[in-house]
Amino acid sequence: MTENPHGEREKEALAALREAPPRPISFDELDFNLGERWIPTGIYAAYASYLFDTDVRIGFSESMDEYSVKCGVKNAKILDQYCVKGYYRNYDGIALLKHALVNTVPDMSKSIGKDEHGNDIKVRDSEGIQLANAKIDEIRNGFVEWLAEQSPEFQKRLADMYNRKFNCYVRPQYDGSHQTFPDLALKALERRFGIKDVYQSQKDCIWMLKQNGGGICDHEVGTGKTLIMCVAAHEMKRLGLAHKPMIIGLKANVAEIAECYRTAYPNARILYATEKDFSPANRVRFFNDIKNNDWDCVIMSHDQFGKIPQSPELQQRILQAELDTVEENLEVLRSQGKEVSKAMLRGLEKRKINLSVKLETIAHAIKSRTDDVVDFKQMGIDHIFVDESHQFKNLMFNTRHDRVAGLGNQDGSQKALNMLYAIRTIQERTGRDVPLRYDHQQFADGIVPAVQIPAPEGIGAAEHQFVRRMGGHLRQENDGLRVFGNEQHRAERALPLLY
């Protein structure tokens, strides 16, 4: 633009750039939660000082994902109005403010008598927890009301801060109408399935996958996800974007996927795994068949995919990183002393033991393995299309939150863990490990999830998408949760979450 400010192409490019930014979100359109990490601590300190009518200072440690709250002089508001008196200890306004900032509730207990050894018989203090939860909600709701009372200049600065940090992405619009799809047998598809042509939505999705090397195909039932996977896999192979793609689906649907591929591309070299191929007697031969041949596509079911051995060295690295995260989180929780429930500590300690045992098992497998074992890394698979990908969403995760609907099993499922191993193997093979953003969800290069509906709502699903696809740990998980989620705690029962 500096060298040729009056050029037509430059003017068109500048006009397109000016039209591209998303519409700024105004203050009134935003929902604020106390404890969102992007809001400066000075704002929280100003609100707390207003709320308690005394000077309050708030700091934040990114490495520990912890807020520190200090108060020079504690007055009646802190010690009485915003105080909850428990059986064993009292939680004053400062303690409840710390819980409000991380959206947790103190785990209070009480004694209902003595055992034969003279020790207290402890049970959860439901009334105390409910009272603490009510006061924490009052503190959190008060923050939103306090923001609404600030000056227009203050509100505009806060909205601008949000827009610069979060509202700075524009979802690309993919137009795949120019594609011709050589080798695609449309006449055979029409005779077998009644498909006369590729829909525009399918062309756009295939073009997106070819452009980005991965993405999510979140289409409704009956809109042609199967054909998208087959055509995209063949196109990636034809154009050299993938050397040996793989498609996996449910056991009930995988035969239909293979038939669709064979019909669309009669001359393609397809390896379709039958149940006989995965019998113990034939499995080693089949794995070597995948490794030693240049297939256009390998097709199998989710269950068969789970039987493929994964690289033990990769498993060791991933589980060691998970163990390091658990140990880091244990240090953070222990530093909080009485503020953390014993159940949460016990859960992390149990996970540490389980991970240590898994690492020892893998170390033994590495030492004793034989050369005839073919693992996923040796097969040369460099792209996976996953039908019904929500089946693999339950990865292990760490969180400070408990008694919350939607959390699921923190240990995750072996099925999801195997998929994670495979994705990391592909990322190492291709050298591309930056997550791709599509349709507001994160997915890694080398994988195309195809789902009929979005992942189930709830914190567990949200954590999985945010933590694993972004490669984050406890701090990133809670950061995203503070901005995009607002879980509700209940002493007696957990209620469904709504996002």
Domains in the chain (CATH in brackets) are 27-165 (no CATH), 175-309+374-499 (3.40.50.300)
Better-scored residue on pLDDT, 485 or 304: 304
What are phi and psi for residue 114, nearest 5 degrees?
Answer: -120, 150
DSSP assignment letter at 338: G
B/e letters for 61-89, b = 16+ CB within 10 Å, e = fewer, are eeebbbbebebeeeeeebeeebbbebeee
Could you write out the DSSP letters of every residue in 176-238?
A: -TT---TT--HHHHHHHH---S--HHHHHHHHHHHHHS---EE--TTS-HHHHHHHHHHHHHH
pLDDT at position 453, please?
Answer: 36
What percent of the chain is predicted at pLDDT more than 70? Answer: 79
CA distances from 376 to 272, 361, 391, 426 (A): 16, 19, 20, 9
List, in sequence order, every residue forming a beta bridge with 294; answer none if it has no partner. none
Matching residue, tokens 């990769």: 314
The CB-side HSE value for 244 (13 A sphere, CA atoms) comes to: 17
Round to whole Å and give the CA distance between 244 and 246: 7
Whose CA is closest to 246, among 257, 233, 258? Answer: 233
107 within 8 A of 124, measured Cβ to Cβ:
yes
pLDDT at position 492, please?
Answer: 34
Per-residue pLDDT, averaged over 464-481, amounts to: 42
420 within 8 A of 321, measured Cβ to Cβ:
no
Tell whether the model's pLDDT for residue 493 goes beyond 50.
Answer: no
Round to whole Å and give the CA distance between 383 and 411: 27
Per-residue pLDDT, averaged over 188-193, amounts to: 94
Q: What is the CA radius of gyration of the chain?
A: 27
List, in sequence order, every residue forming a beta bridge with 300; answer none if it has no partner. 248
Q: What is the pLDDT of residues 74-127, one digit of tens each?
A: 999 999 999 999 989 899 999 999 999 988 888 889 999 988 888 988 898 999
End-to-end Cα, the chain, rounded Å: 44
Of 128-142, 157-171, 395-409, the one with minimum mean pLDDT is: 395-409
pLDDT at position 361, please?
Answer: 87
The CB-side HSE value for 196 (13 A sphere, CA atoms) comes to: 0
Q: What is the pLDDT of residues 322-362, one digit of tens each?
A: 888 888 877 777 776 655 556 667 777 888 888 888 888 88
pLDDT at position 447, please?
Answer: 58
What percent of the chain is predicted at pLDDT more than 90? Answer: 46
pLDDT at position 456, please?
Answer: 34
Say how many C-beta atoms besides its own lie within 10 A of residue 26's C-beta: 11
Say how many C-beta atoms besides its own lie within 10 A of residue 27's C-beta: 18
Round to whole Å and give the CA distance between 206 and 175: 10
Tell whether the model's pLDDT for residue 37 goes beyond 60.
Answer: yes
pLDDT at position 11, please?
Answer: 84
List, in sequence order, every residue forming a beta bridge with 185; answer none if it has no partner. none
CA distances from 84 to 81, 91, 178, 474 (A): 9, 5, 66, 29
Strands 109-114 and 120-124: antiparallel
Mean pLDDT of the chain: 81
Angle between helix axes 126-148 and 93-102 (nearest 10 degrees) is 70
Round to whole Å and give the CA distance between 207 and 211: 6
Confidence band of 319 (pLDDT split at 50, 70, 90): confident
Task: State which amino acid sits at residue 347.
Answer: G
Tell whether the model's pLDDT for residue 454 goes beyond 60.
Answer: no
Round to whole Å and give the CA distance between 470 and 464: 9
Say how many C-beta atoms besides its own lie within 10 A of residue 120's C-beta: 14
Tell whether the model's pLDDT for residue 448 goes beyond 80.
Answer: no
Say how many C-beta atoms besides its own lie within 10 A of residue 455's C-beta: 18
